Amino acid sequence: MLSNIMSILLTVVTALVWGLLLGGISRNVTAKIHGRVGPRVTQNFIDLWKLFRKTSSIHHGGMFWMAPLFRITGAIAVLLMVPVVVGHNINYNMSFAGDIFLLLYIMFFGCLGMALGAGNSGHPYSVVAISRGLAQMSSYELSFSIAVVAVAVGLHTLRIEGIVAAQQAGVSSWNIFRFPFASAGALIAFLPMQMAYPFSIVLAPQEIPIGPPTEYSSRFLSFMFSGRALFSVAKLLLFVNLFFGGASSWMALFVKTFLLYMYAIVVSSVFPRFRTEQSIKFLWLVPTTLALVDLVRVML
Amino acid sequence: MYCNQPPKKPGDKKEVLQKITNMARANSLWVTAYGTGCGSIELRPLGTSRFDMERFGIAMRPTPRQADVLIISGYLATKTLKRVIRVYEQIQDPKYIMALGSCTINGGMYFDSYNTLNVLDKYLPVDVYVMGCMPRPEAIIDGFSLLMKKIKEGRAVGWKHYRENLDYYRENQKQIIKNWDLPDYNW
């Protein structure tokens, strides 16, 4: 019992620190691509502490208060259901408790809570961003789900440990090589999940200034930032486990998640933004078709 | 050998926390992206590769809810004052005001204009003034470093002053805004 609690705490704190650090590194890499010096790598920690210590006197109703908590809860739930380091029992946490479909469902939880809360704030930009976000989410979830189903059918297992265990026979057994089309589809769907350009229609800084969190400030925003950091690490872990053979040690975990994160950052820094309908059309056509190719191949 | 200084008080826990917080506040200044006058043209190069304000932790925020600093960039027209008051009061505490250009100090070249405020400090509490017409990005960075120093030392308390002397500020504001239809305080 105690060791379970300790392992959960260890996982969550490590993921939070790693997520914030990745955010700082990504701001730096983006700055280097723009030809700037960029902020400190620890800038996100400083921002978080400042926000946490700011006062807040805004009230928009109960759901507005709860949305950041929903986001954090959703992120932690996803994080605990994914095996962190393969082979270490201490890092499996709750991963025995559900299959991959439960995970896909839980991933929605934080976003839906956020949508309700930001909708409660009543700001028009928040509402516009939420309608865009939900439309886009239903498009990328489709391709991602088909990719996951293709992998699950191909490996004859719905359990995420089973999927990881099937990839332990060397690099060539990684799902990205066994299911290249499904992996490509899922990796494209990864970009809108990370709100990266060209799919950044939810935050859309120059258009609907900052989207859902327009009315959020102070502690609410600091919770939201931590939730975002945790959620992005959880998604990275999920992708590493599904397509890149899982992580056999902490070092492998950090290297793999870092490289996957950098993929999103580099793509994000060099592309302009899609319009909403372009983004949805692209997501329904390209990654979905790619994932379907592998699904059909596996089923034949 | 003896020490001729009085013994230092043991560090108060709250005081240490406040110092850490002040350091964080100084190194993470988020600016409301609202240009009130011509001086905001010099804020653009600040964000891009030549001057890159992000290396100091300064970032633009599109909403006053998430900002710490309001920059009054140059002359402030009587019409703009109403909007600036609304934006300033919507920023959550602690918040700071930086005033750019001579116009905010004494009216500058618009000192006798019918629609420009002459002394900004009568209407809103200014923490840092940056001289010049226009102040170049280097001067604005200098102003930011002064503001950071004041925050670290705990001297950037314009927002407290505004709260405590709200009646004084309101009286001055109402002299300019004749058809006053704002609430008591814009949360």
B181 is a domain residue:
no
Give the per-residue pLDDT at B6. 65
SS3 at position B71: strand
B184 is a domain residue:
no
Per-residue pLDDT averaged across A206-221, rounded? 81
**Distance from the B21 Cα atom to the nearest Cα atom in chain A, whole angstroms:** 6
pLDDT, mean over chain B: 87
Question: What is d(CA B69, CA A91) in angstroms, rounded to the nearest whole number?
Answer: 43
Question: What is d(CA A237, CA A83) in angstroms, rounded to the nearest whole number?
Answer: 8
Residues in B closer than 8 angstroms to A213, CB to CB, are 66
Q: Is the ipTM reported for this complex over the cut 0.90?
A: no
Residues in B closer than 8 angstroms to A216, CB to CB, are 65-66
Residues in A closer than 8 angstroms to B48, CB to CB, are 34, 36
CATH number of the domain that B148 lies in? 3.40.50.12280
**Distance from the A235 Cα atom to the nearest Cα atom in chain B, whole angstroms:** 27
Domain ranges, residue B143: 28-176
Question: What is d(CA B168, CA B154) in angstroms, rounded to the nearest whole number?
Answer: 24
B164 is a domain residue:
yes
Cα-only R_g, chain A: 19
Number of domains in chain B: 1
Question: What is d(CA B160, CA A10) in angstroms, rounded to the nearest whole number?
Answer: 40
> What confidence tens digit (pLDDT) does each residue in B147-169 have?
999 999 988 889 999 988 988 99
**Which has the closest alpha carbon to B178: B77, B78, B36?**
B78
Query: Dihedral of the CA atoms A20, A22, A28, A29 (nearest 10)?
Result: -160
> What confidence tens digit (pLDDT) does each residue in B14-70 have?
788 889 999 999 999 999 988 888 888 888 899 888 999 999 999 988 888 889 999
Question: What is d(CA B18, CA A268) in angstroms, rounded to the nearest whole number?
Answer: 37
Per-residue pLDDT averaged across B97-112, rounded? 89
When comparing pLDDT for A7 and A143, which is higher? A143
**Does residue A90 have a pLDDT over 70?**
no
**Which has the closest alpha carbon to A227: A72, A109, A73?**
A72
Q: Binning pLDDT at 50, 70 and 90, where does residue A236 land?
A: very high
Per-residue pLDDT averaged across B80-95, rounded? 89
Give the per-residue pLDDT at A263. 92
